[in-house]
Amino acid sequence: MTSFSGYLPYAFALIIAIPFLVLLRQFVFTYIRLKEQEIKLLSVKSNSGNKSQSYERMILFLERIKPSNLIQRFDKELAVHEFIFLTEKSVNEEFEYNSSQQLYISKNSWNNIVDSKNAVLSLLHKTYEEINGNADLDEFKTIFIMNYMNGDDYISATIDDMRKEILIIA
């Protein structure tokens, strides 16, 4: 009996400690579960933020490639073919810089963006062929703007579609 009485304080401490250990374990698992939920919520919020930022960047790109904005770039002393080369290079570089945004943009919007970019570059070349290289830069720019205005405003249509999509996301 004396050998059991030596263990009695340890047994008593163990009996008291077990409920505290169970409660501590429950608290830790609950805390971890809540932190995981918080991380998921932040990740979803961040992802939707990425989407809206991607739409903003691509709308800015589309605004920048509108012919009315393109004609304001570069020096007025350039030859028409130099203006076309620099404009095409600038548009392609900006497009490539933003190409990673396709991860966050719908496939339809991305295709519309690519089509708009290609249509603007095609219009540049068609306008040059139309004038047969027989115009100065100011005349070329005027004809380029007029050709765009007389055709479909595909850039504005793409921007409008993207605005509708972003309203659905938000």
Q: Give per-residue pLDDT as tens, 72-113.
A: 887 778 888 888 999 999 999 999 999 988 888 899 999 999
Q: DSSP H helical segments within the chain, as ranges?
A: 2-64, 67-70, 80-98, 107-131, 137-150, 154-169
- pLDDT tens-place string over residues 41-74: 776 655 566 788 899 999 999 999 999 898 888 7
Confidence band of 165 (pLDDT split at 50, 70, 90): confident
Which among 131, 150, 116, 119 has a CA at the least distance from the CA of 81? 131
Q: What is the DSSP letter of 105?
A: S
The pTM (predicted TM-score) of the whole model is 0.69
